Amino acid sequence: MKTKRVAIYVRVSSGEQNTEPQERSLRAYVQRRGWKVQKVYRDQGVSGATSKRSALNELLRDCRRGSVDVLVVWKFDRFARSLNALISGLELCRSVGIDFVSVTEAVDTSLPAGELVFQMIGAVAQFERSLIADRVKSGLANARANGKALGRPPLRKLSRAEARQLRQLRLRKRVLRTPPISVSAGSNTPAPDITFTACQ
């Protein structure tokens, strides 16, 4: 059986903190599972609320390239602080066939129970997207019912003369696009006489 390649992601929010305790525990976990640490990604002194995390961005790029088989973190909040960010990361792992393990929360998508958790999180994400879509549609319908113009506002309002001229231009273009009448092979319309003049 092929040994699974593991990406370890660790993060601390403060510069005074150290990622070593997380890393040591995760390395021990990987060793117990008989896996191989491919690379450790460290974000030192970076808040989980920000999306500008160099190590995390590098990790996600490697995941898309298929460089690893399993992503291991200490806790969910080390990987993502918001539900949307967590779901986005989990869906990325699932789309590229990478298992996700949160050691302290006993979530392991390589096992049946962990796969169930994965599916539940995905269902919650889909439900949330459906609610947002329904709210947007309801808001648009309410705005239309109240006579509110939707879309980008015009740069300026056309005068009556400009509007009339624009309609005439559109009508002229429509006439020009009308295809010419062709004469079919079975038509009784005589073909025009063509006279060839010899060159002197």
| 97 contact partners, CB below 8 Å, separation of at least 6 | 66
Pick the closest to residue 10 from 65, 67, 86, 75 (CA basis). 75
Specify whether 13 is catalytic.
Answer: yes
Exactly one of 13, 25, 67, 110 is catalytic; name it: 13
Q: What are phi and psi of 39, to 5 degrees?
A: -165, 150
Q: Which residues contact 124 (CB under 8 A, 6 or more apart)?
A: 83, 87
Residues 77-80: contacts with CB within 8 Å, 24+ apart?
A: 77/48, 78/9, 78/10, 78/11, 78/22, 78/48, 79/9, 79/11, 79/48, 80/48
- Tell me the C-alpha to C-alpha distance, in Å, between residue 118 and each of 33, 56, 90, 107, 145: 20, 20, 8, 9, 41
Catalytic annotation, residues: 13
